[in-house]
């Protein structure tokens, strides 16, 4: 497969359904930064990939990039919500197709694989390298824990980038909250939250994430009336509800299935 050609072809098709979006800033960026966005199902990643005007790398879960059984099991649960389906065999077949088509798209889109083990060091290093080159990092950090109709609570691990970037460059990293919405065709970016190198990551990660979450919520409510699309649909909570407050357990479930040959 010619991955570059495949990527360009898919992007042309997707643009038929996602019209160009305009990026609006409360505060104009003055250097490389991290943009923390709402997911809005697939809308957030698609719109940021196609229309965010700044050079950037996007975090993507390593399961989606790896290919093979790892991506197939991931797709079955995290894209198709397989547990919610009465007939699971068709979902397994679709997940297998996704395992061939999704990884090359993510590679060509310039993603950084996000690992959930000790290899997270590779994720963080690649991210700081990109920032040092002048590229932004785009992160969809929502967890399953619901906060409002517009945004979920944020996972906090990305805040560590602030410490690593300061250690590498001596510069303070800014985190920009962004609300992405298809109907209004906007990427609405609020004022940034700056990492404080004089405080520990542990002491400020919740504070930074709450500030980002609240700004995303505010930008959503300021936008022209629209129907919000949540990170995860109700059927996910019906099928995987025990993991709303245990995201680590959710990924452990996926990893355990990857390691076995069991099928529903």
Query: What's the pLDDT tens digit per position in 175-223?
Result: 999 999 999 999 999 999 999 999 999 999 999 999 999 999 999 999 9
Residue pair 208/163 in contact by the 8 Å Cβ criterion: no
Spell out a b/e string for 38-55, using b for 16 or more CB atoms within 10 Å of the CB, else e: bbbeebbbbbbbebbeee
Model confidence over 10-31: pLDDT tens digits? 999 999 999 999 999 999 999 9
Residue whose pair of structure tokens reads 């965010």 in the numeric block = 52
pLDDT at 1: 73
Whole-model pTM: value is 0.95
Q: Within the chain, which residues score under 70 in pLDDT?
A: 261-264
Q: How far apart are CA 190 and CA 23, in angstroms?
A: 11
pLDDT at 117: 85
pLDDT at 261: 60
Residue whose pair of structure tokens reads 């025990």 in the numeric block = 242
Task: Give the distance from CA 30 to its chain's centroid.
Answer: 23
Nearest to 47 by CA among 229, 217, 194: 229
Q: How far apart are CA 226 and CA 212, in angstroms?
A: 21
pLDDT at 264: 47
* Domain coordinates in residue numbering, the chain: 3-258
DSSP summary character for residue 221: H
Instruction: State the DSSP string of 109-172.
Output: TTEEEE-SSTTHHHHHHHHHHHHHTT-EEEE--EEEEE-SSS-EEEP-GGGHHHHHHHHHHS--
């Amino acid at each position: 497969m010619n991955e570059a050609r495949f990527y360009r072809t898919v992007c042309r098709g997707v643009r038929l359904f996602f019209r160009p979006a305009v990026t609006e800033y409360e505060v104009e960026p003055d250097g490389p930064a991290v943009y923390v966005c709402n997911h809005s199902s697939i809308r957030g990643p698609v719109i940021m990939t196609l229309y965010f005007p700044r050079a950037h790398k996007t975090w993507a879960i390593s399961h989606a990039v790896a290919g093979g059984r790892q991506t197939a099991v991931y797709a079955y649960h995290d894209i198709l919500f397989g547990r919610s389906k009465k007939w699971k065999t068709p979902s397994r077949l679709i997940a297998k197709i996704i395992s061939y088509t999704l990884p090359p798209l993510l590679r060509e889109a310039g993603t950084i694989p996000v690992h959930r083990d000790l290899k997270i060091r590779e994720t963080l290093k690649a991210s700081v390298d990109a920032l040092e080159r002048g590229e932004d990092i785009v992160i969809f950090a929502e967890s399953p824990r619901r906060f409002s109709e517009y945004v979920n609570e944020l996972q906090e691990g990305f805040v560590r980038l602030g410490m690593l970037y300061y250690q590498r460059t001596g510069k303070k990293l800014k985190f920009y909250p962004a609300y992405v919405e298809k109907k209004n065709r906007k990427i609405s970016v609020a004022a940034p939250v700056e990492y404080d190198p004089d405080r520990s990551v542990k002491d400020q990660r919740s504070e930074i994430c709450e500030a980002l979450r609240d700004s995303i919520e505010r930008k959503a409510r300021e936008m022209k009336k629209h129907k919000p699309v949540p990170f995860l649909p109700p059927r996910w909570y019906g099928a995987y509800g025990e993991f709303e407050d245990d995201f680590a357990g959710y990924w452990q479930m996926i990893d355990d299935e990857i390691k076995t040959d069991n099928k529903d």
